[in-house]
Amino acid sequence: MDTYDVLVIGGGPGGYVAAIRAAQLGFSVACVDAYSRDGKPSLGGTCLNIGCIPSKALLDSSEKFELLSHEYADHGITVEGAKIDLAKMLGRKAGVVDKLTGGVAYLFKKNKIKSYHGYGKLTRQDGDGWVVQIGFEGQASSEVKAKHVIVATGSNPRSLPLASFGGNIVENSGALEFSEVPKRLGVIGAGVIGVELGSVWRRLGAQVTVLEALPGFLLPADPAVSKEALKQFQKQGLDFHFSVNITEVKDNGTSVSVTYTEKDQSVTAEFDKLIVSIGRVPNTFGLGGENVGLELDERGFVKIDAHYRTNLANVYAIGDVVGGAMLAHKAEDEGVAVAELIAGQAGHVNYDVIPWVIYTSPEIAWAGLTEQAAKDRGLNVKTGQFPFSANGRALGHGDPRGFVKVVADANTDKVLGVHMVGPNVSELIAEAVTLMEFGGSAEDLGRTVHAHPTLSEAVKEAAMGVGKMAIHL
């Protein structure tokens, strides 16, 4: 039986990063992953195959089409007869995915990590190690042994009890693969996937209706940010309905009818395709946790302590399957931390400054506490806000929507949170995260020289605004 120091179950951002870091630290490492794309093993998990990467590739392609069709005229550029070749667009996206998933396979080889394809099932403890069965249901399997096991089996889309996935009712992977642009697209859930994929298909020509159970929109974001984002999305034509209760979903083969109540009225809407994006659930399928007594919480997440240890000796868990922010970069950083902890080092993730980014237009990004969350903790806060409409670079780009808001402790000036909506804020947030990681103050940020003219000057000015020192406002 092949024996390793560390076996990682799951080859997504949590698992593959844990494997690489463990190999760097001198362990013998293997990773078992079950995912197949077009019938072939494909490392990288949800993120690289059917999540972060393909969705961003389509967001970029569709945004280029939108800019060409509607925005470039303001720059004095008109293009007659712009057309979409959807097959080519999807092919480009697949090419990006191939490059990155192949890149993970290359990194495994480079770091001498043995890669297995199949489900990794915990079976028993044998001496100082765990025996894990590898294979697919109904097919021949093999066994490997490892002293330490890291579970990184990720998550799956949550389905509506009223409507299982299939046919015209799709989850994220189906929503990345429509062979033609649906004329009428329904989206259930105005969360991150709803607004990102809703934006893709709207830009390509779909009429998009978003049905959301809650009265609010992107609730974890600062309310000023979500209010601005909602205003912009509605202006683009996304049709939001809040506080709805879905009562029936029927796939008629050629279309889907969705019945919901809104303001006490029952409404039935007809869509060509329906995306259900109502959150994700932990995935422990095929892991064999029940055979060995792996403890899960009441929602099915693997229970861990502060060092990613499960209730089983030398079995750890990270990423989406343990809950918290279901984000690739959170899973990756947990992968690094758990490998270092296994090596006796002080691996650590600072959960207070995990950035969130939503890749719509305008983009949305934040890290740290909102103004309200800081007040709820009894902190005395002061804020600074700067609009992109007063930023030279944003005006030059032709995209002066949105603002940057900095929340700081009124007593110490320490930056507690930074919230942005506007152009390229997915990149601007990194500066705020670094500053918060070092416990920096608003004045530190405001007195740091930023190149002119750049969008980053809006971050500096918002920070200066905390001390009432903004120059261009």
My answer on whether omega of the bond before 355 falls inside 30° of 0, hence cis, is no
Minimum gap (Å) between residue 16 Cβ and ligand FAD: 8
Query: Measured between alpha carbons, how far is 270 from 243 in angstroms, rounded to an integer?
Result: 19
Select the span of 298-306, 347-355, 356-364, 463-471 touching ligand NAI (CB under 6 A): 356-364
Please report whether residue 57 would count as binding ligand FAD according to CB under 6 A: no
Minimum gap (Å) between residue 241 Cβ and ligand FAD: 22
Task: Identify the CA nearest to 459 among candidates 414, 437, 411, 427.
Answer: 427
Question: What does the per-residue mask of binding to ligand FAD show for 17-56, with x meaning CB under 6 A?
Answer: ---------------xxxx---------xxx---xx--x-
Contacting residues for 38 by C-beta, under 8 A, at least 6 apart: none
H helical segments located in 131-222 = 172-175, 192-203
Query: Measured between alpha carbons, how far is 336 from 299 in angstroms, rounded to an integer?
Result: 26
Please report whether residue 278 would count as binding ligand NAI according to CB under 6 A: yes
Which of 50, 149, 188, 406 binds ligand NAI (CB under 6 A)? It is 188
Please report whether residue 277 would count as binding ligand NAI according to CB under 6 A: yes
Please report whether residue 10 would count as binding ligand FAD according to CB under 6 A: yes
**Which of the listed partners (ligand FAD, ligand NAI, none) does 162 bind, with a CB threshold of 5 to 8 Å by partner kind?**
none
**Which of the listed partners (ligand FAD, ligand NAI, none) does 153 bind, with a CB threshold of 5 to 8 Å by partner kind?**
ligand FAD
DSSP annotation of 71: I
The residue nearest ligand NAI at its CB is 191
- DSSP symbols for 72-94: GGGGT---TT----HHHHHHHHH
Task: Identify the CA nearest to 312 among candidates 294, 334, 296, 297.
Answer: 294
Residue with tokens 């020289």: 449
Can you read off the two tokens belonging to residue 59? Answer: 């967001």
Please report whether residue 347 would count as binding ligand NAI according to CB under 6 A: no
Contacting residues for 376 by C-beta, under 8 A, at least 6 apart: none
Task: Identify the CA nearest to 430 among candidates 353, 360, 335.
Answer: 353
Query: Measured between alpha carbons, how far is 8 from 10 in angstroms, rounded to an integer?
Result: 6
Please report whether residue 278 would count as binding ligand FAD according to CB under 6 A: no
Q: Which is nearer to ligand FAD, 152 or 276 (CB)?
A: 152
Can you read off the two tokens belonging to residue 321? Answer: 């399957």
Question: What does the per-residue mask of binding to ligand NAI show for 200-239, with x meaning CB under 6 A?
Answer: -----------xxxx-------------------------
Catalytic annotation, pick one of 75, 307, 348, 452? 452
452 is catalytic: yes
Residues 311-330, interacting with ligand NAI (CB under 6 A): 326-327
Task: Identify the CA nearest to 272 among candidates 172, 179, 194.
Answer: 179
DSSP annotation of 388: G
**Which of the listed partners (ligand FAD, ligand NAI, none) does 278 bind, with a CB threshold of 5 to 8 Å by partner kind?**
ligand NAI
- Summarize as ranges the residues that interact with ligand FAD (CB under 6 A): 9-15, 32-35, 45-47, 51-52, 55, 119-120, 152-155, 172, 193, 283, 285-287, 319-320, 326-329, 331
Residues classed as catalytic: 452
- Summarize as ranges the residues that interact with ligand NAI (CB under 6 A): 160, 188-194, 196, 211-214, 246, 277-280, 326-327, 357-359
